[in-house]
Each structure stands twice: as structure tokens, then as C-alpha cells.
Amino acid sequence: MKIELSTQAQKDAVASIQKYFEVNMPEMIGELPAGLLLNFFVEEIGPAIYNKAIADSQAQMLRRVDDLSGELYVDEFQYWPRVAAKRKPK
């Protein structure tokens, strides 16, 4: 699966890379080199981050499904016990 960023996310990422170079590097980086660097990171490192996110999501879903009865269990036939509890003299 190819990882793609929205046009706005690409623009924001390029601007962020340029700002990073301006603050942390001895030389500034132009828009084209920053875009190429972004494309490299997305293509080279993006899949590792994506796969980790999928694995984390899957683990979280499995934990929730494993405890589904605990999460969603409702006691049955509780009408009469509730009525009796309300009628007890205080």
C-alpha cells in the first residue's frame, strides 16, 4: 500500500522541514529539496511507521474484543430485584 499525504499535509510538512533546517542546520533548505527529502522519508520510513500503527491498533482492538463480555455484559432479569430494593422500608 502506498502512503500518500494530502496536498495540505505535504505543504505543511515541507514548511516544517524548512523551519527545522533554518533553526537547527547551518544552511537553509529550499522548497524543492525539502519536498524531495519529505518524499524520501515517506517512501523509506513511512511504511515502518504505518505498520507499527496498524500493529498497535490491532493489539488494542484484540484487547477490547477479548474483554467484550466484561465491557458490554448486562445482568439479566434485574427488574424484580430492583423493585424489591426500592420497596424495602428505610
- Provide the domain limits for residue 49: 7-87
Nearest residue to 46 (alpha-carbon basis) of 72, 83, 15, 9 = 9
Report, as an integer, the average pLDDT of 1-28: 95
pLDDT of the residue at 57 = 97
Where residue 78 falls among pLDDT bands split at 50, 70, 90?
Answer: very high
pLDDT of the residue at 90 = 63
Contacts of 62-66 spanning 24+ positions with Cβ under 8 A: none
The rounded Cα 54 to chain-centroid distance in angstroms is 9
Is residue 59, in this structure, part of any structural domain at all? yes
Is residue 2, in this structure, part of any structural domain at all? no
Domain count of the fold of the chain? 1
pLDDT of the residue at 25 = 96
Is residue 1, in this structure, part of any structural domain at all? no
Q: State the average pLDDT for the chain.
A: 93
